[in-house]
Amino acid sequence: MAGHGHRSRLRARLLKGGAEALADYEVLEYLLFAGVRQGDTKPVAKELLKQFGTLSDVLNADPHALQRVKGVGETTAAALKAVNLAARRMARSEVSEKPVLSSWQALIDYLAIDMAHLKVERVRVLYLDTKNRLIDDHHAAEGSIDEASVHPREVIRRAMDVGAAALILVHNHPSGNPEPSRADIQITNQIAEAGRLLGVTLHDHVIIGREGHVSLRAKGLI
């Protein structure tokens, strides 16, 4: 009964409080209720955070890796995976069918949820129509961003193919630090120049890291 009372109190705090009503381990503890019908889920929640790091890291973890933690079964891992999927869907819905440049924070949130946790570098190109709405989110390459993996002419050719008027280049830094490298700046300038020749605007190059994000346009590099 004591466990039931704790769950009820946690539920009440969740429903009545704001975004910070629960600590990260309590959010995780509550999510674990879906897979653990009774008993104390706090030790499991704290062990997950100890093993993986942050709440975001837990939700982004491979379900098989989650199940290696004592107390986490397939049902629990699936429940956590569903939360991750819901968060991605919600974030994407905030940038779909809306002018990206006027929903910039929503775009950054979407990209951070999708990319900040990645262990490898991934390059994406967001193609926009004349009203700056997202029409194609293209996974362009995996690995370091340079001419060997991202060909400026191919980036612009795809823009022509999908009828895009503009684009935003995006990639992540697995190190966590989003500061641009010399190669990042170089490829940005090459894509911007290729776009200018064919009337396709490069709005920005956004670098995502665990420590935040950097806009090359905001830094005056475009």
Task: Between 60 and 157, name the one with better pLDDT.
Answer: 157
pLDDT at residue 2, as a whole number: 45
88: CB partners within 8 A, 6+ apart: 113, 114
Residue 200 near residue 165, CB atoms below 8 Å: yes
For the chain, first and last CA: distance in Å?
A: 62
Helix or strand holding residue 24 (H, E):
helix 24-32
Secondary structure (H, E, C), 62-108: CHHHHCCCCCCCHHHHHHHHHHHHHHHHHHHHCCCCCEHHHCHHHHH
pTM assigned to the model: 0.70
Residue 151's identity, in one-letter code, is H
The SS3 assignment for 17 reads coil
What mean pLDDT is predicted for residues 107-121? 86
pLDDT-based confidence at residue 206 (cuts at 50, 70, 90): very high
Euclidean distance between CA atoms 111 and 119, whole angstroms = 15
pLDDT at residue 87, as a whole number: 83
79, 134, 177 from 211: Cα distances, Å:
27, 26, 6
Q: What is the pLDDT of residues 52-77, one digit of tens each?
A: 988 888 888 889 999 999 888 888 89
Mean pLDDT for all residues in the chain: 86
pLDDT at residue 1, as a whole number: 42
What mean pLDDT is predicted for residues 92-108? 79
What mean pLDDT is predicted for residues 14-28? 78
Residue 119 near residue 143, CB atoms below 8 Å: no
Judged against a pLDDT cut of 90, whether residue 129 lies above it is answered with yes
pLDDT at residue 157, as a whole number: 93
Judged against a pLDDT cut of 50, whether residue 218 lies above it is answered with yes
Q: Which domains does the chain have, with CATH numbers?
A: 2-91 (1.10.150.20), 99-215 (3.40.140.10)
- The lowest-confidence range among 33-47, 122-136, 199-213 is 33-47
pLDDT at residue 25, as a whole number: 84
Judged against a pLDDT cut of 50, whether residue 117 lies above it is answered with yes
Residue 44: CA count within 13 A, CB half-sphere: 24
Judged against a pLDDT cut of 80, whether residue 34 lies above it is answered with no
* Beta strand spans in the chain (E): 122-128, 134-142, 166-172, 201-209, 212-215
Render the burial of 57-80: b for 16+ CB within 10 Å, e for the rest: ebbbbeeeebbebebbeeebbebb
DSSP 133: B
Judged against a pLDDT cut of 60, whether residue 153 lies above it is answered with yes
- What is the β-pairing status of strands 166-172 and 201-209? parallel
Euclidean distance between CA atoms 30 and 8, whole angstroms = 10
